[in-house]
Each structure stands twice: as C-alpha cells, then as structure tokens.
C-alpha cells in the first residue's frame, strides 16, 4: 500500500460516522497513564482490570480509552507515543458502546490452556496480538474481534491494520509518508 501522511491515517479511523475509535493502552508501557488519562481530553476511559486496584496495579493495568478525533491526547498517542514509547497498545474501531467493549475485552484477559489451567494474557501487547492472529480459525477470529471492525497499531514508520471481513482476516501495513 502507498505511504500515507499521519493525518490521512488518522482520518481513516474516523471515516465511518457510525463507528467510534478506542485505544487499548498498556499502563506498563506508558508512564503515569492514570494521571495522563485523568487530565486527557478524551470521551471517557476505563481500566480493563476489574475491581479496586492498588496504585502499582493501576499504573501497570491496561485501559480502554474512548478517543476524540480532535484531541491533543489522541494526537500524542497516535503520532508521538509510538515513536517515543514503542508498542503502547492498539487502536480499535467499533460501533459498540464502551461498556460492551470493556466486557468483551475483559473476557479475553485470560487464556485457557489445554491442560485446564488459565493464564493472564496481555493480548493488547502488539507483539502478542500479531502472533495470536494467525493461530485463530474463522470462528475464533469472530469471537476474538467480537464487536470490533478494525484493530490497528500506530507506529513510528508504519501503521498495521487487522480487519475481519466475511470471516477472513485482512491485514495491511501502511507506511508513513516522510515529511516534505
């Protein structure tokens, strides 16, 4: 795919007015994330870990953030965090309300192993996310994506997108255009 300017990539996220844009941000990758979110110009945010957390757990927890298209926090997260912090998480596009997404993604925080044990799974870690996708059969992909139409990873040199269309996984890397 041809390189696109950061503004073009951002506008693609908000191109469908029936969809909302959310970020899944790993607190373990973004310093002082709870404080940043409390001060951010976002629609809303929720911790993906249920229950009351101590300060350390809250700082390291993953958060679901309902992004605004025109927001300094959104621009920082999409354009600066990837370059300065690396793999901070993923962006999701969905028509579902935030509470539905929170419930769906909380249900994916544990993986059940064939031996009956379960383990914590940081699937929103881009490295884990991209490694998991090819392992799913079509039914597993449909369960994993749930109400989400697109998952994307903004990066310093390219954005990676994953989309489920007609039970087929579509993946595309879109390089960032170099500033003139």
Tens digits of residue pLDDT in 72-103: 999 999 999 988 888 999 999 999 999 999 99
Q: What is the pLDDT of residue 179?
A: 65
Domain layout of the chain by residue ranges:
6-174
What does the alpha-carbon distance between residue 17 and residue 109 come to, in Å, rounded to a whole number?
29
Kindly tell me if the per-residue pLDDT of 26 is higher than 90.
Answer: yes
The mean pLDDT value of the chain amounts to 92
Q: Is beta strand 118-120 parallel, antiparallel or unpaired with respect to 89-94?
A: unpaired
Given pLDDT bands bounded at 50, 70 and 90, which one contains residue 180? Answer: low
| CA-based nearest residue to 21, from 91, 124, 123, 88 | 91
pLDDT computed for residue 108 by the predictor: 92
Residue located via tokens 């390189």: 3
Per-residue confidence (pLDDT) for residue 111, from 0 to 100: 86
Kindly report whether the global pTM for this prediction surpasses the value 0.75.
yes
Q: What sign for the dihedral angle of Cα 65, 140, 95, 85?
A: positive
């Amino acid at each position: 795919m041809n390189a696109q300017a950061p503004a073009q990539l951002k506008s693609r996220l908000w191109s469908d007015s029936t969809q909302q844009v959310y970020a899944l941000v790993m607190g373990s990758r973004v310093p002082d994330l709870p404080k940043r979110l409390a001060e951010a110009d976002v629609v809303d945010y929720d911790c993906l870990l249920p229950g009351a957390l101590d300060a350390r757990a809250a700082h390291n927890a993953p958060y679901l953030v309902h992004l605004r298209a025109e927001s300094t926090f959104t621009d920082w997260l999409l354009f600066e965090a990837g370059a300065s912090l690396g793999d901070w998480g993923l962006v999701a596009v969905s028509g579902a309300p935030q509470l539905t997404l929170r419930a769906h993604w909380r249900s994916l925080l544990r993986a059940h192993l064939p031996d009956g044990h379960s383990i914590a799974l940081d699937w929103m870690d881009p490295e884990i996310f991209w490694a998991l996708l090819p392992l799913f059969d079509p039914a597993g992909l449909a369960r994993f994506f749930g109400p989400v139409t697109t998952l994307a990873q903004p990066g310093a040199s390219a954005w990676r997108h994953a989309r489920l269309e007609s039970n087929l996984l579509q993946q595309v890397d879109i390089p960032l255009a170099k500033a003139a």
